[in-house]
Amino acid sequence: MKGKLKLSDGEWRLMNLLWQNAPRTIAQMVNELKDETGWKKNTVFVMLTRLEEKGAVRFEEGGRSRQYYPCIRREDAAAQETESFLAKVYGGSLQMMVSSMAGQRALSRQDIDELYEILRRAEQEVQE
């Protein structure tokens, strides 16, 4: 992967398909996304070309169609996206983001419980 990876919303859709079940052909991706997006083969091809240039996907020639595979893990892409979002919106402060969400009552009881559990695990890792 070349430097920081920035994916558009459309590129995230394609990557999610590949992470769910790779390899996939362009025709398979068009078929899976046509009702949701209305994208045609050329649109998907252009986005896959961009993803390939970014180092996010690769393809192998397979029969009559290229078979596309992800080159990055979902977790790595999500971590970079999260870091970018935090930096852009909250100046890199996780505390400010959580405070903002809590202040807007955007956290459910389940969200709060899950956050406590994440923090407990993080605390244990720091102590070990």
- For the chain, the domains span 1-91, 93-128
Q: pTM value? A: 0.78
- Cα of first residue to Cα of last residue in the chain, in angstroms, is 32
Spell out, as residue ranges, where the chain has pLDDT lower than 70: 1-3
Architecture of the domain spanning 1-91: Orthogonal Bundle (1.10)
d(CA 67, CA 58): 8
- pLDDT tens profile 90-103: 999 988 988 888 88
What lies within 8 Å, CB to CB, of 57 at 6+ separation is: 14, 15, 18, 48, 51, 68, 69, 70, 71
